[in-house]
Every structure is written in C-alpha cells, then in structure tokens.
Amino acid sequence: MLPTPSMSEIPASRPPFYRQLYVQVLAAIALGVFIGHFWPGFAVTLKPLGEAFIKLVKMIIAPVIFLTIVTGVAGMKELGAIGRVAAKAFGYFLTFSTLALVVGLIIANLVQPGAGLNIDPATLDAGKVATYEHQAHERTLTGFLLGIIPSTLISAVADGNILQVLFVAILFGIAMTMIGEKAQPLMTVLESASHAIFKLVALLMKAAPLGAFGAMAFTIGEYGVGTLANLAGLVATFYLTSLLFVLGVLGAVGWALGFNILHLIRYLKAELLLVLGTSSSEAALPSLIEKMERAGCRKSVVGLVVPTGYSFNLDGTNIYMTLAALFIAQACNVHLSLEQQILLLLVAMISSKGAAGVTGAGFITLAATLSIVPSVPVAGMTLILGVDRFMSECRALTNFIGNAVATVVVSAWENGLDRDRFRAAMAGMPLEPTSDMQEVVPD
C-alpha cells in the first residue's frame, strides 16, 4: 500500500468555514427553500438569478473544454495513446450507461410505481408536451452525427456546442501532435490561455451561491413542496434507485480501485451542492475538471473523459428514462412484454447519447425514446411534467458522480493516477494546485 503524504507536504491552513464554497451554497439553498415556501410570489421573480449564473458558466465551458483537450491531447505525444484513452473511456461509458438503464428497468418492474393510477391516455393533454416532442423528433441518429460537425472551425467554440467543441479540439490536438516540436510555441500560448481561463472560472464561481439561491427559490415558489404529493412514489423510487446505483454499483467500482465512494462525494461536496441548487451538472463542469486534476488524475485523461462523459455517460438520465417510461406505461395500463422492454432499452441506449447536462435534457430524451416506441403514449409524459423539475436535480447529481468515477477509473487504467495525491484528496487533506493549473474553487 502506498504511503499517505505527510502533513508537512500539505498546506495546513484552511479558510474560515463561512468562506468555503460548499457552506455558502448550502446556506443559499436553504434560504432559497425558505423564501420559496413563505413568499412564493416573490421567489418566482428570482428565477433570473439562477438563469444568469447558468449562462455565465455556459459562457466559459466551450473555451475550458477546448483548451483542456487540446493541451491534453497534444501533451500525449503519441497518437496511439489518444486512441487508447478514448477506447477505454467509451468502453466504460457504454457498460455503465447500459447498466443504469437495466437498473431502472428492474426497479420499475419490482416497485410498479405507476400501478393503480388507471389513467386513460385519451384524457391527457398532449399539448403540454408538444414542445418537448418536437425537439425529440429533431434528435434522429443521422441528425445527431451530422450535428457533431460544426459549420466552421471557430463556430464550434462560438456556439458553445459541447460535442462540436470536442470534435474540433481532438482534431486540433492530434494535428499539433503530428507536427511535433513546431507546435511548441502554440502549446505555450494555449497553456497560458488555459491559466487565464481557469482564473476567470474562479471569479465566476464566486457567484455560485447567488445562482443556487435564485434557482432553488424559483423551484419551490413555482411548484411548491406540495407538488411532490401526487407523484411522491415515482420521485421517491427514482431517488432511491439513483442512490442504490451510486452507493452500490459505483461504490463497488470504487472499492475495486481502493477508494470509498463516500470520500469522493465528500471531496466534490461543493460542486454537488452547486449541481443540486441549479439542477444542472453542466454548472460544475469546469470545477470538476480542476478538482479531478488536483486529485491526481492525469490532465490528458481528464480532458478527454470529463467532457465526453457529459454527453455519453449519463447514468442518472438513463435510470430516469427506463423508470419513467415504465411508470407511464403502468399508469396508462399498457402492458409491456419482455421483448418490448428490451426494445425500449435498446432505443434508450441510442437516444440517451449526446444529451447535454442541462435542465430538461432528460425530459426531451425521454420524449425521443417514447416517440420511437409506440406502445407507450407520449402524451403520458404530462403525468410527470409537474415533478420533472425535482427529478432533474437527482439526474444531474447522479450524472456528475458517475463522470467523476469514470475519470478515476480511466486514469487508473492508463496508469495516470497519482495514488499518493488521490489518497490525500480522499482523506480530506487540502492540496495545492498541480504545476500546470490554477486554483479554481476552494474546498
């Protein structure tokens, strides 16, 4: 067993508790719930605070991903290493995304959360989900693949399309690798730009408590705590299933690699609270990249795994899709045979890929899946429309934790995990930034 770093190697000082990001975000969430419950009319007007923060973060995501991937890929020096990391990452994504779908399917059959509602599909207002269904029909496989290619080299970053940024950044990094030493001056510029971008992220994250406060106040003010009453069974089942997946499945993965999943959750507590407050895992993407590098994961691996995971490793969204689809079928008294459930799973395996980590993406993806599987009425989605906002938070949290675990796993497979540093991070010891990064968020 590798030795744990001594305390002499770790900075001893911690900021006061009230200056720690997770404390500030937690207080903001609590205040948002309080305001939303007692002054719902005023709370609804606070929605722009959450939206503004999400826009601030999304503004910086494209350059963060581009610079991280380009410098990471170019730093590998060998094209074979790039392909090897990508193959391992996508192998992991496919395995555990499929497993998440299966878990949702099994739990839905065991618990039967929609049984007994006896809803007549003809009485449902399909107009409420018309917008989502329209967006779902646009998510064809051909359209998805063509959508990865941007109109121009620069438009990918300008438009902020994550998959397009990934595509351009990987190609650009490969090109820099192929020209070798001639790319070194540009590499120096990009690394300097990366430092500046992460410092900008640090500045933006200071507004995280304000964004979490506005988003949570709006959610409670608009929908109210009581909106969970009618569909409490579905919501509880989804939360418990996600918890089972995180602690059971991902926990077993962590155990196999020698770390405790609860320690990883503690290490990422500030980011998880931010995700909870905003219902968007994308809000914490830049911080996750920085935190995983700081914990000892190789920069080149982090740069490939984290951004691609946000589109291809959505464990929470996958659990939600099969669970919600069977809930709708059960509520409308639609019996699905084993063959139909397997078809649903196979369709979901495809439709779930490429969903962005933002609020509402899971609902749109579910609409895309149901539109291909005619046995389950798409109009049945009106049954869960009212509580989808609450389940969105759980989807985002599960997606986020899943991508953090994936990063550690692929780093370990690549011998790119600093075990000493990672063990120190899991033990809760404050760590200085590595030599090639700036500090982004305080613990």
pLDDT(99) > 60: yes
Per-residue pLDDT tens for 58-84?
Answer: 777 778 778 777 877 776 666 677 778
Min mean pLDDT across 148-157, 298-307, 418-427 is at 148-157
d(CA 94, CA 80): 21
pTM above 0.75, yes or no: no
**Highest mean pLDDT pick, 213-227, 325-339, 379-393, 425-439:** 325-339
198 vs 123, more confident: 198
User: What is the arithmetic mean of pLDDT over 377-384?
Assistant: 68
Q: What is the pLDDT of residue 10?
A: 39
pLDDT(245) > 90: yes
Min mean pLDDT across 60-74, 182-196, 329-343 is at 60-74
Per-residue pLDDT tens for 106-156?
Answer: 998 898 877 776 666 655 545 545 554 455 445 555 666 677 788 887 877
Phi then psi for residue 417, to 5 deg, are -115, 120
User: What is the arithmetic mean of pLDDT over 151-178?
Assistant: 79
408 vs 376, more confident: 408
Supply the CATH classification number for the domain 74-153+230-426: 1.10.3860.10
Q: For residues 86 and 185, is the Cβ–Cβ distance under 8 A?
A: no
Residues 127-163 as b/e (b if ≥16 CB within 10 A, e otherwise) read: eebeebbebbeebeeeebeebeebeeeeebbeebbbb
Rounded to the nearest angstrom, the gap between the alpha carbon of residue 412 and the centroid of all alpha carbons in its chain is 21
Min mean pLDDT across 32-46, 223-237, 401-415 is at 223-237
